[in-house]
Amino acid sequence: MADVTLNGTPTTPRARSAWQRLKVNRNWLGLWFMLPAMAFLVLFLAYPLGLGVWISFTDARIGRGGAFVGLENYEWLWDDSVFWLSVFNTLLYTTVASAIKFAVGLYLALLLNENLPFKAILRAVVLIPFIVPTVLSAIAFWWLFDSQFSILSWSLRKLGLISTNIDFLGDVWNARWSVIFANIWRGVPFVAVTLLAGLQTVSPSLYEAATIDGANRWQIFRYITYPLLTPIIAVVMTFSVLFTFTDFQLIWVLTRGGPVNATQLMATLSYQRAILGGHLGEGAAISTAMIPFLLAAILISWFGLQRRKWQHGENND
Amino acid sequence: MTLFTRRALVQGGTALATAGALTGPALLDWAKAWAQTAPWKPEANAQLSMLRWKYFVQTEDDAFVKLMEAFTQATGVKVNISRESYEDVQPKASVAANTGAGPDLFWGLYSLPHLFPQKCIDVSDVTDYLGKKYGGWVDSAVKYGKSGDKWIAVPVCYSGNLMNYRVSHMQKAGFSKFPATTDEFLEYAKATKKNGNPGGLALGHASGDGNGWIYWCLWAHGGNHVDQNDKVTINSPETEKALVYAKALYENMIPGTAAWNDAFNNKAFLAGEISWTNNGISIYVAASRDPTKKDIAEDMNHAYMPIGPVGKPTELHLMYPILAMNHTKFPQACKALMAFMLEANQFNPWIGAAQGYLTHCLNAYDSNPVWTEDPKRTVYRDVAKRSLTAGGEGSVGEKAAAAIADFVILDMFASYCTGREDAKSAMRIAERQLQRIYR
């Protein structure tokens, strides 16, 4: 009986143990649990990104697939003054708007974190620019910046400060500052409210301890608030830079990239060439050219702002 | 003020003796009879979806809806109409062409079908039928509609882009009629500016009005962005002359036109800020409908674009071709719809309802009373005949569409007029852009 039992076993003890080991292997099981998320990421993020990069190496036009042309699209862009102008505009737009959005957003967050009367209402009011659909706010700015009917020009004229209307969107630099201003107006609430959420996680006991130690308000901000806020700042500024760098709607409604491409961003130029002009390959090349800039912004935010040195001073690793 | 209700327009349509337009039950009977005899028999249970440019004149859309209802009653084919700003039709059509899904019919702008000619169904039988029946197609419509020997779209209508001007300001400037030549026009611009009644032409990224006057100016001076073989020829002495002329005009316009898109000149004209601009008839229609703008409507008129040194009309007007995608399950229904739209009984009341905003491409419709019942509309009758195509001397295909969508010529003029570039470098930049597009 004992022999039958032993000889009738179809698998060797060693093989059975390997399969059974695999069945309870946490890494093996983990792989299967990760698969749905991986499939989602590959399908909706990696594949479109990869396809976009691939199209940039083809001469694809709308309605038909393209043949592989190597770096031809990039070679044309390299010599294209409009493309380089769009790179300059995008960098200027992103740098100036993000820096001011951060400064104003942080200031507003600190202000709203104080015990103000009507605090809840004030916090809700700050969010309004963010809630209004971008296209609507762009249209409002369109009227504000109108070369003939601008309320700003009208007011200044009535006050006797100017004699002719300000050419907000017709002059190259005026147009750039105008669209940057509109972007700041729209983007500040996101920064302010997120930083406010971060501020509220800072324990009041730290402030009390610092006050007892005789720290002034600047020292409290510099050595308590700012270091504890840095991880939130890293996240907020990463998103803020990404949103600003890839902005499209505001520019498209206000100027369509004009005058003379002075407000043409890489995103709007990509759309103009790929969808309106039909050159999908070239549009994809412009979009792909945005990736290094975006990666750099992300890397600076994550690896830079989260370093302990940055948070706690040079000697604190 | 005259209020154009649907009823009034349909009644007006009955008066079109030459058109023989019908209303009510008679229209339905005619439509049913048409459906019986038409060469295109819609597929069983066919349903169509159409994306069209959004109307500028409400009465036009009312008449169009009525036209579609008549088609549905006659053929049983239901038509779902979506509307987008005319600049937004192209991106959506492009996506549909790429993905093979979306509306069956797209009614867009300029050379839209030439962006994806292989995705459009062949409608040569429809255009042959209509051309033979209604006195033939105007030349520019043939160029817009055909790709090689095949018609890939039906050229439905044009939207004229002509000079709109204030009569009293013109007289005050010492002119008895609107200038017919570019030289006179420059003098006119100077005189009106001097009198405090300047005009303005859009130099921002304005697809319709901006491209309209820029291409006119280029061609009027003998410039061309490409030759007949699509070889880039923008860098030429003729282009330079056009640039110099445009800058002289720009200096005598109201300040701020470099920021203008398509809507700015309408607003400025209706507010009395400018006394001349290039536009469709929509300013006049809007002024006529608004009791507070009646004085502007009475004091304004329209004129052809002035003729330049080349000695012939060099106008560019907006063309609206309709195309059917080859992903449609109902190609016969699409063709039947296109033919039905352009039959006299349908087309005449509809074009009448547009009040001069739209112009036919079939010669027989010259006799529609819409062009003569208000003399201020008459010049718009001829825009299809006078229009050149967006390709200039070259082909009207996807390259011309890309050049116009990319504002290459417009930016060349804007950069020179605003002093950002000198003429040589403005032309060189445009040349480089065009070489990229026409490679």
pLDDT of residue B31: 80
B198 and B337 within one domain: no
Please say if the pLDDT value at position A25 is more than 60. yes
Q: Residues B361, B365, B366, B368: what is their CA dihedral angle, to the nearest 10 degrees?
A: -140
Residues B78 and B203 in one domain: no
Query: B332 and B185: one domain?
Result: no
- pLDDT category, B21, cuts 50, 70, 90? very low
For residue A175, the chain B residues in CB contact (below 8 A) are: 259
pLDDT band at B18 (very low <50, low <70, confident <90, very high): very low
Tell me the residues of chain B between 137 and 156 that have a Cβ less than 8 Å away from chain A: none
Residue B401 is assigned to a structural domain of this protein: no
Same domain as B282, residue B182: yes
pLDDT bracket for residue A302 (50, 70, 90) = confident
With an 8 Å Cβ cutoff, are B401 and A272 in contact? no
Assess whether B241 and B333 both reside in one domain: no
**Interface mutation vs chain B, best among A260, A270, A286, most B CBs within 10 Å:** A260
B49 pLDDT above the threshold of 90: yes
Claim to verify: residue B210 and residue B304 sit in the same structural domain: yes
Whether residue B272 lies inside any domain: the answer is yes
Supply the pLDDT for residue A188: 93
* Mean pLDDT estimate for chain B: 89
- Supply the pLDDT for residue A183: 94
Kindly state the average pLDDT of the residues A43-65: 88
| Mean pLDDT in residue range B8-17 | 38
Chain A contact for B104, CB < 8 A? no
**ipTM exceeding 0.90, yes/no:** no
**Helices B331-342, B344-353: inter-axial angle, 10-degree rounding:** 60
B394 occurs within a structural domain: no
Judged by CB atoms closer than 8 Å, whether chains meet at B437 and A279 is answered as yes
Is B399 part of any domain? no
Total domains in chain B come to 2
Collect all residues of chain A within an 8 Å Cβ-Cβ radius of residue B265: none
Say what the pLDDT of residue B4 is: 36
Residue appearing with tokens 């701020």: B256
Chain A positions touching B211 (Cβ under 8 A) are: none
Span of A277-291, A298-312, B177-191 with lowest mean pLDDT: A298-312
pLDDT value for A12: 55
The domain in which residue B277 lies consists of 162-316+406-437
Give the pLDDT mean for A249-263: 89
Beta bridge partners of residue B315, listed in sequence order: B387
User: For A272, which residue in chain B has the nearest alpha carbon?
Assistant: B406
Least confident of A58-67, B114-123, B316-325: A58-67
Q: Which among A51, A58, A59, A62 is the top mutation candidate for probing chain B, defined by the most B β-carbons within 10 Å of its own β-carbon?
A: A62
Contact in structure between B152 and B158 (CB atoms under 8 Å) = no
Residue A61 is predicted with a pLDDT of 82
Within a domain: residue B395? no
**According to the model, what pLDDT value does residue A164 have?**
84
CB contact under 8 A, A279 and B432: no
State the average pLDDT over residues B286-312.
Answer: 95
Chain B interface includes A69 (CB < 8 A): no
Q: Which residues of A touch B398 (CB under 8 A)?
A: 61, 278
Q: Is the pLDDT of residue B129 over 70?
A: yes
Of A168, A172, A277, the CB nearest to B406: A277
Same domain, yes or no: B339 and B428: no
Mean pLDDT in residue range A234-256: 90
The C-alpha of B56 sits at a distance from chain A's nearest C-alpha, in angstroms, of 19
Quick one: pLDDT at residue A312? 54
Backbone angles phi, psi at A68, to 5 degrees: -65, 125
Tokens representing B436 are 């990229």
In whole angstroms, what is the distance from residue B104 CA to residue B78 CA?
A: 12
Give the number of C-alpha atoms closer than 13 A to the C-alpha of residue B391, restricted to the C-beta side.
22
Rounded mean pLDDT, B104-125: 90
Angstrom distance (rounded) from CA B188 to CA B195: 11
The pLDDT score that the predictor gives to residue B23 is: 57
Determine the pLDDT at residue B134.
Answer: 94
Tokens matching residue A75 = 């070679």
Residue B289 placed within a domain: yes
B60-87: average pLDDT: 91
Residue B301, domain member (yes or no): yes
Contact criterion met (CB < 8 Å) for B116 and A64? yes
The answer to whether residues B262 and B304 belong to one domain is yes
Q: Decide if B1 is inside a domain.
A: no
Judged by a CB distance cut-off of 8 A, whether residue A276 touches chain B is yes
- B413 lies in the same domain as B301: yes
pLDDT tens digit string along B360-393? 999 999 989 899 989 999 999 999 999 999 889 9
Helix (H) or strand (E) holding B316: strand B315-316
Q: What is the pLDDT of residue B22?
A: 53
pTM value is 0.82
Measured between alpha carbons, how far is residue A238 from residues A99, A232, A296, A299 in Å?
12, 10, 10, 9
Domains of chain A listed by start with CATH number: 12-55 (no CATH), 72-312 (1.10.3720.10)
Residues B285 and B425 in one domain: yes
Determine which helix (DSSP H) or strand (DSSP E) holds B106, and give its type and residue range.
strand B105-107
B426 phi and psi angles, rounded to 5 deg = -60, -40
CA dist., res. B239 & res. B93, Å (int): 33
Nearest by Cα to B177 from B186, B193, B188: B188
Nearest to B404 by CA among B240, B122, B176, B206: B206
Instruction: Tell me: pLDDT of A8 over 80.
Output: no
Give yes or no: residues B46 and B112 share one domain: yes
DSSP characters over B28-69: HHHHHHHHHHSS--PPTT-EEEEEEEPPSSHHHHHHHHHHHH
Report the gap between the CA of A260 and the closest CA in chain B (Å). 5
User: What letter would DSSP give residue B116?
Assistant: S
* Least confidently predicted of A126-135, B103-112, B414-423: A126-135
Predicted pLDDT at B238: 97
* Range in B15-29, B251-265, B352-366, B405-419 with the lowest mean pLDDT: B15-29
d(CA A40, CA A23): 25
Q: Are residues B135 and B205 in the same domain?
A: no
Domain of B46, CATH number, reads 3.40.190.10
